[in-house]
Amino acid sequence: MKTKFAPILLGASLLAPSFAPTLMAATTNIVQDMQVSAVVRPAWLREYLPDNTLFYARIPSLWSSVSYKEDSFKYALGNKSYTDAVHSIQEASAKWVDQADQQLKPLLSLLVGQLDGPIEIAAIAGGMMPQVLISANLNIQDSVQLQALIDSLIKARVVKSEVQKLANGAGQLMTDVGPTPYRWDSEKKRLDILLNFGGADLKALEVAFDSLSKNPDSPMLANEAQVESSHQGLYLWYNNEKTYPMYQAMIPPNVQQQMKMFGVPDMKSLALSWGVRNEKGRIKLLLEAPTTGMIRSLIPTNTNDLNIATAGEAKFTALLALPSTEQFTKIEQMLMQMSPNSQKYQEFKAAMLKNMGFSIEDVLSAGGPELTTVFDEAGEYLAVRIKDEAKFTTILEKLTAQEGVTLIEKEVAGNQISYMKKYRVYLII
């Protein structure tokens, strides 16, 4: 494999264990009379990241989606009978993978998810180029199984060769970035890999990992606490505050000027997560930046503190932050500069104002920024926060004045419900 992505593929594949069933993590007490057990092991590297960490990625095991975590299904997924059943499925999956094509076995093993926990990748500043640390727990019983995995990687051309044969749980492989050391801790069942552009040796790996210490004040942990609390889900964090100054001199002046216009130098970090927060599954994209630059000034600010009465327990909710009138004008101007031929758009806006009696700007100034989609026992509907009740009422009056629109008012369970009907379209107000 002669591509620049081979080292990452190596990391992912090496972290795929042999085909034995995954062990269950230690049982823990949640309440006095209730015990839970997890299918996968927790991430560890996240707690040891130094302040000069440039990037951190946590790639979950496939089994983490059905393992215990602090969400609304925690007692169901943590039930020992349930985890025993998952254990049986893992065993069956391992037998299926063992019958696959020899060259596909390492990658299939990863896809089937026979990792004991998430893969963790951290880029840490050190010299001209950062060091990349990769770590994960493996369910490998001995060095024979580890060597068999390495041999299969070489046969599949994920790894070029062995520079130093596996001995005492450590060795060195040849990859596209050069010699790549690794070590396997049989007690902790953990594999550590060090990627250095130009190569590295086992001594460099020992220094890189053994010098790590717990850092509760890590900026990554502060960011993670806002978006992903299970420590098992997908989590990507980019530290722009440390990275941009390092590479600023390498960026052409005209590109630097554009980045400054968009506020890139002032951005603190960017994170993407798919995991658990406040005991609910969430997908989040979090940009930490002051309200400067074009990008940040265009991003609406919303609140999650919503007072929406639902019929029973909500099955699904999605929150969209609408731009303010000022933000919409900036977005509109930027798009018109990128695409000067805006005649049809201007015609649409003029037709809307003429036929409906209000504009897009009127709508945005009357409601928002929170627009919420709710699925509950009553059905599916949208809820919007009203900013200007007078403007909102004016818009509703103009809508009800449209041809074919009927305003219907009913009292349901002591609540006044009003909705507009036009053919088969209903707008509940």
Q: What is the pLDDT of residue 408?
A: 81
352-390 pLDDT, tens digit each? 898 888 999 999 999 888 888 888 887 888 888 888 999
CA distance 235 to 56: 8
Q: Would you say residue 11 has pLDDT above 90?
A: no
CA distance 238 to 123: 10
Region 200-229: what's the mean pLDDT?
A: 93
* 356 located within any domain: yes
Residues 207 and 87 reside in one and the same domain: yes
Residues 311 and 196 reside in one and the same domain: no
Number of domains in the chain: 2
* 1 located within any domain: no
SS3 259: helix
Selected residue with higher pLDDT from 409 and 102: 409
Q: What is the pLDDT of residue 284?
A: 86
Q: What is the pLDDT of residue 108?
A: 61
Q: pLDDT averaged over the chain?
A: 77
Residues 46 and 186 reside in one and the same domain: yes
155-187 pLDDT, tens digit each? 778 889 999 999 988 999 999 889 999 999 988
Residues 108 and 206 reside in one and the same domain: yes
Q: Which of 196, 227, 258 is the last residue of a domain?
A: 227
Q: How confident is the model at residue 154 (pLDDT cuts 50, 70, 90)?
A: confident
Q: Would you say residue 245 has pLDDT above 80?
A: yes
Domain extent at residue 336: 306-429
Region 386-399: what's the mean pLDDT?
A: 89
Residues 206 and 119 reside in one and the same domain: yes
Burial 253-291 (b: 16+ CB within 10 A, else e): eeeeeebeebbbebbebbbbbbbbbeeeeeeeeeebbee
CA distance 147 to 10: 14
Residue 315 DSSP code: S
Beta-bridge mates of residue 417: 410
Residues 223 and 311 reside in one and the same domain: no
Residues 39 and 170 reside in one and the same domain: yes
Residues 208 and 324 reside in one and the same domain: no
Provide the 10 A C-beta neighbour count for residue 250.
7
* 100 located within any domain: yes
* 240 located within any domain: no
Residues 12 and 119 reside in one and the same domain: yes
Residues 33 and 148 reside in one and the same domain: yes
* 279 located within any domain: no
Residues 208 and 356 reside in one and the same domain: no
276-327 pLDDT, tens digit each? 777 677 788 888 888 666 666 666 666 666 777 788 888 888 888 888 888 8
Q: Which of 227, 245, 269 is the last residue of a domain?
A: 227
* 246 located within any domain: no
* 278 located within any domain: no
Q: Would you say residue 346 has pLDDT above 70?
A: yes
* 245 located within any domain: no
